[in-house]
Homo-oligomer: A and B are copies of this chain.
């Protein structure tokens, strides 16, 4: 099976469309957009971003999911993506499973695979995703203002706990373990939430490095500070159980890989945000407020939590993920 066979069999799953008349099979794809585009790129490397023994379908899902999460954080609507796939060998079973995970998520959000590159080397997947910016303009990190509320979608810490479980460093009831492992291996990007929240949010980011680190990026970009109420942070029953059993509070704040949206909005938007949350059946929690100064304070039992680190850095010796 050569590289052309691989493309034909496993990756020609998006037919050409009026807006993407040329895709796989020429020197470049051609797309036609009538407005501003949001463009993002993310690489997943075996042993760093996913375990060497991860299911190929999960790898395909996650490689696209992390990019869709970035588009969601701009409030953008997914349109097209390219896939750069580096493989040690061409294994039909692996490719079929990888392709199925990728395709299922792509179809769910209507994003089309328009091109790519297949090369031989250590397993690595780079996806670049392109979306249409929302009509009112993309939601940047720099828009948070003192007095704004801070909100978070879904729940924090499940993937970080899932990684502990995967490594055999934590145990929970099997059902709670499954929830955490699912969040680790196949996170659901908050695409529809990003689109719906775009007109309401003053700043937005997706939570990939860790809640504290990613909120920190918003604060830096906006030149503001924040006070967060630990008790208001959204935790699943799995994380809550783990905390009740003496687990350290830093884990759900710094573990990362959540792919939830962290956003700020003026208090006047609270009702509209609640309506969005209800219509998407996705919890949105108000967890703090933006302040003019004082840095990032996460208050628990009346005292600020002290974190050793805010989140992941892939170039730290201890920064490796699974």
From B30, B39, B42, B121, give the contact of A38 (CB < 8 A). B30
Residues of B within 8 A of A73 (CB): 27-28
* B28 adjacent to A76 (CB under 8 Å): yes
Residues of B within 8 A of A32 (CB): 35-37
What's the Cα separation between A119 and B90 when bound, in Å?
24
CB distance from A112 to the nearest CB of B (A): 11
* A41 adjacent to B131 (CB under 8 Å): no
Copies in the complex: 2
CB distance from A187 to the nearest CB of B (A): 15
From B37, B120, B315, give the contact of A1 (CB < 8 A). B315
* 7 A-B contacts (beta carbon < 8 Å): A6-B315, A22-B140, A26-B221, A29-B38, A32-B35, A40-B115, A42-B117
Does A47 count as interface, using CB distance less than 8 angstroms? yes
Residues of B within 8 A of A38 (CB): 28-30
Knowing A126-B84, A313-B2, A315-B6 touch, does A138 contact B28 (C-beta < 8 A)? yes
* A82 adjacent to B39 (CB under 8 Å): yes
Does A111 count as interface, using CB distance less than 8 angstroms? no
What's the Cα separation between A80 and B38 when bound, in Å?
12
* A71 adjacent to B133 (CB under 8 Å): no
CB distance from A198 to the nearest CB of B (A): 12
Residues of B within 8 A of A164 (CB): none
Does A236 count as interface, using CB distance less than 8 angstroms? no
Residues of B within 8 A of A2 (CB): 313, 315-316
What string of 1s and 0s marks CB contacts (under 8 Å) between A202-222 and chain B?
001110000000000000010
Does A107 count as interface, using CB distance less than 8 angstroms? no
Give the contacts of A116-137 with B (CB-CB under 8 A). Answer: 116-122, 124, 126, 128, 130-131, 133
What's the Cα separation between A22 and B139 when bound, in Å?
11
What's the Cα separation between A142 and B25 when bound, in Å?
10
CB distance from A52 to the nearest CB of B (A): 12
From B30, B45, B118, B313, give the contact of A86 (CB < 8 A). B45
From B41, B115, B142, give the contact of A84 (CB < 8 A). B41
* B47 adjacent to A115 (CB under 8 Å): no
Give the contacts of A306-322 with B (CB-CB under 8 A). Answer: 313-316, 319-320
* B45 adjacent to A138 (CB under 8 Å): no
* A114 adjacent to B30 (CB under 8 Å): no
What's the Cα separation between A115 and B67 when bound, in Å?
13
